[in-house]
Amino acid sequence: MNGAVWDFRIVFAYKGASTSNRLVFILRGA
C-alpha cells in the first residue's frame, strides 16, 4: 500500500503544489 500512498501524494503534490503552494509562496513572498 506504500506505493499507492506515494502515488497519491505525488499526484496531490503535483496538482496541489502548482496552485496552493504557489499562492502560499506568492503570499509569503518566497
pLDDT, tens digit (0-9, with 9 covering 90-100), for 5-30: 777 777 777 776 667 767 777 778 75
Report CA 27 to chain centroid distance, whole Å.
16
Domain containing 11 equals 1-30
How many domains, the chain?
A: 1
Distance CA 13, CA 7 (A): 10
Output the pTM of the full model.
0.32
Count of Cβ atoms closer than 10 Å to residue 21 Cβ: 11
Tell me, what's the pLDDT at 2? 65
